[in-house]
A and B are shown apart, each in its own frame.
Chain A
Amino acid sequence: MHCLWCDEEQVPEVVWTTVLAPRKEKVVCEACASQFSVLQGSQCPRCARPMEKAEICSDCIRWQEQSAALKRNVSVYEYNNWMKDVIAKWKYRGDYVLVGLFKDQIVSSFTHAFPSKEAFLVPIPLSEERLAERGFNQALAIAECLDLPIEQALSRINSEKQSKKTRADRMRSTNPFQVILPIKQPVILVDDIYTTGRTLQFAAEALVREGCPRVEAFTLVRG
């Protein structure tokens, strides 16, 4: 099996147990796997920002004053330089199959954080323009790793890239989401990166306004 990231061939070590039970082949080689940094230790219980003590961070206190639509965000990985390269190749270059790098970790982090299966997954949509450019929605690809029902309940109106904006710009922007399918049950929004939380808050506000009782978020990376 060749590593999904570096394409080096992995030669599994032969030990006594190999004789009895064939080993599960790993998608990623050990050298590459060690570069991913899974979020651990104390973090803000609302937005998963790494903290010294597990208390609500200053950003989330500000969020609570403005909008309380999004109850909580759970992220899988830390945003290190390695992750930047991986996301760039996956999302911007469009190497679709790289979602396989995260799949196992997505499933285990998700089941740990959301033990109940009573929710719909709503991936954050791309604008039509952006979708045509990339050919796939990375948020949907993440949601498809999980075995909860997926509803594409939102559509996105404007098309400016969040990653090209400053924090102040992001905070000032207007809600780009429209609910095309109201959901009356708990929802878990799915996206690739949580940076300021602006996008997810907008999506949550839109859903709550249309009668959704509880909105949480699951993101791959905590920026």
Chain B
Amino acid sequence: MIFSMSMSFDWIPSPLTSVSSPHSSKLAGRLWLEANLPLSTEETADLIEKGLLTRVPALESNWWGRRCRRCGNTTERLIVPWPCGCGQTCHYCRSCIEMGRISSCTSFLLWTGADPDWHQHVDACAWTGQLTPFQQQGADRIVDTVENQGRLLVWAVCGAGKTEMLFPGLERALALGRRICLATPRSDVVRELKPRLQQAFPHVDIAALYGGSDDVDDGAQFIIATTHQLLKYARAFDMMIIDEVDAFPYHSDPKLHFAAARSLKRHASLIYLTATPRFSLKASSYLKKLPTVFVPERYHGHPLPVPRFLAAFDTKASFPKNQLPKTFNDWLHQKKNEKRRVIVFVPTIKMAETLAAILDGAVYVHSEDAERKEKVQQFRDKEISLLITTTILERGVTFPSIDVAVIDAGHLVFDEAALVQIAGRAGRSAADPYGDVVFFHSGKSSAMVRAREAIQDMNRRARKEKR
């Protein structure tokens, strides 16, 4: 029930005139600050006079307090008074100030001309591959959701082939002349998806937006963006897909939920994609409030690798002595002999450093690593056979034929979702669909147990539905 927080967007005006303008596709659906408008002062004044652009206060004042209409922030300590340049004592929002200061006297300019006419693409999809029966089932439900402007949770296991599953639904939406947004919390996912989708939809104007991206939105019909980019949109999209909806930072940031809800048109289809929905989504799914389709099998038809638990009670003691926990050491040797490539997940950056030092300068990556992209590519190109990482590589990345180890799997950072995602890194290629996944632990946590159960559950579901 991710959007059920009381959010009212009645302040967004409906079209005031049926007059259109060549600017409509570029200007509609955005929260413009006057300084950012891609227009000259005269053009702006002209559009305001004709009623095509309308001023709306950016910060609202209610009996219970103030709210920033861009980021939805209502926290009192983050909406502070100041001696504003306008001569009054205004309040401004500190929460989204990086995007330009919003003060009590600031207005948005919103498009109130005719809605832009988005192109109706006939047979937009150039992809010719074949979907598996499970993927087809998911794809059909997505097409239905597009047609009846509903909501849908696509609960698809890691490696189910979610992107391909979207193609029929996207094609349908484009045929209906809809505007589409595929949003995800992670910018690496945006970068990865753009070329794939552009290839599948070669004649559609697609813009990939993230902090520091080269693309800008000049009125593209199809937008792939980080969820942060949605802070600029209002009533813009007829179809929104939120990929990896349970991932950081989206799941824990109310600003982004607010922005996503505002970016949707009044009648729109909303599709959540994830392998590991969090509690609130699961609950609405079980309560039948959120229509759900399961895709319990990978695209290659083999079951998910089920993690093994190996006790390593010497974990804490051995690292300071520059030693590896014994069970892990044995496992690593075995992998070396079998010439398997290995990815090792550790809970902290510090442990990644220590482990890399013990393993004689093994390569490790973490979120603040400037060479992260290069190192991941090296591993993908098989230039290195062992990669140590924090949870940043838990999702969105595919390496063919690898085995997976988690050190100190009982650590708090490894929650159920993270562990399911980590286990989902193994056995992703059709040529090598099996992989060894081991959770090394010093006392198993309930997250570990639940993660294993969730994986077994999906495998069982796949077996059952196949029959």
Task: List residues of chain A with CB under 8 Å of any chain B CB.
Answer: 2, 7, 89, 93-97, 131-132, 134-136
In the complex, which of the residues B84, B86, B98 contacts A93, with contact meaning CB atoms closer than 8 Å?
B98
User: CB < 8 Å: which of B94, B98, B103 contacts A97?
Assistant: B94
CB B342 to nearest CB in A, in angstroms, measures: 35
Q: Taking CB as reference atom, which chain A residue is nearest B101?
A: A94
Does the CB pair B97–A95 fall under 8 Å?
A: yes
Which of A89, A95, A97, A135 meets B85, CB within 8 Å?
Answer: A135
Measured between alpha carbons, how far is A96 from B103 in the docked complex, in Å?
A: 11
Chain B interface main SS type: mixed
- Complex CA gap A80/B97 in Å reads 22
Q: List 13 A-B residue pairs with CB atoms under 8 Å apart, sorted by A's residue number.
A: A7-B78, A93-B98, A93-B101, A94-B101, A95-B94, A95-B101, A96-B80, A96-B82, A97-B80, A135-B86, A135-B101, A136-B82, A136-B84
User: Hey, which chain B residues are within 8 Å of A93, CB to CB?
Assistant: 97-98, 100-101
Give complex CA distance A2, B101 in Å.
Answer: 21
The answer to the question of B467 belonging to the interface, with a C-beta cut-off of 8 Å to chain A, is no
Docked Cα-Cα span, A95 to B103, in Å, equals: 11
A-contact bits for B79-112, CB 8 A (1 contact / 0 none): 0101111100000101001101101000000000
On chain A, the residues within 8 Å of B97 by CB distance are 89, 93-95
For residue B85, which residues in chain A have a CB less than 8 angstroms away from its CB?
131-132, 134-136
Q: How far is the CA of A97 from the CA of B94 in the complex (A)?
A: 9
List, in ascending order, chain A residues with CB within 8 A of B333's CB: none
Q: How far is the CB of A126 from chain B (nearest CB, A)?
A: 10
Say yes or no for B77: interface residue by CB 8 A criterion: yes
Most chain B CB within 10 A, of A94, A95, A132, A135, is at A135
Number of interface residues of B (CB under 8 A): 15
Q: Are B84 and A135 in contact (CB under 8 A)?
A: yes
How distant is the Cα of A28 from the Cα of B83 in the complex, in angstroms?
22
Min CB distance A138 to B, Å, is 13
Give the contacting residue for A135; candidates B77, B78, B98, B103; CB below 8 A.
Answer: B103
Please measure, in the bound complex, the distance between the C-alpha atom of A131 and the C-alpha atom of B100, giving whole angstroms. Answer: 15
- State A31–B110 Cα separation when bound (angstroms): 41
Complex: A132 Cα to B98 Cα, angstroms: 18
CA distance A89 to B80 in the complex (A): 15
Q: Which residue in chain B gives the minimum CB-CB distance to A131?
A: B85
Whose C-beta in chain A lies nearest to the C-beta of B105? A135
Q: In the docked arrangement, what's the CA distance between A7 and B86, Å?
A: 28
B244 to chain A, nearest CB (A): 25
Q: Is the CB of B83 within 8 A of A136?
A: yes
The reply to whether A2 and B77 form a contact with Cβ atoms under 8 Å apart is yes
Q: List, in ascending order, chain B residues with CB within 8 A of A132's CB.
A: 85
CA gap between A14 and B66 in the complex, in Å: 34
- Give me 19 other A-B pairs in contact (C-beta within 8 A), A97-B80, A136-B84 excluded: A2-B77, A89-B97, A89-B98, A93-B98, A93-B101, A94-B92, A94-B97, A94-B101, A95-B94, A95-B97, A96-B80, A96-B82, A96-B92, A97-B94, A135-B82, A135-B103, A136-B82, A136-B83, A136-B85
Cα-based distance from A164 to B77 in the complex (angstroms):
34
In the complex, what residue of chain B is closest to A144 when comparing beta carbons?
B83
Q: Name the B residues within 8 Å of A136 (CB-CB).
A: 82-85
Residue of A nearest to B95 (CB): A7
Q: What CA separation (Å) do A2 and B78 show in the bound complex?
A: 10
Q: Which 8 A-B pairs have the closest CB atoms?
A: A135-B85, A96-B82, A94-B101, A95-B97, A97-B80, A93-B97, A135-B84, A95-B94
- Give the CA-CA distance A97 to B85 in the complex, in Å: 14
Cα distance A97–B83 in the bound complex, in angstroms: 10
For the complex, what is the distance from the CA of A96 to the CA of B94, rounded to whole Å? 9
Give CA–CA (A131, B86) in the complex, Å.
Answer: 10
CB-based nearest A residue for B80: A97
Residues on B with C-beta less than 8 A from A96 are 80, 82-83, 92
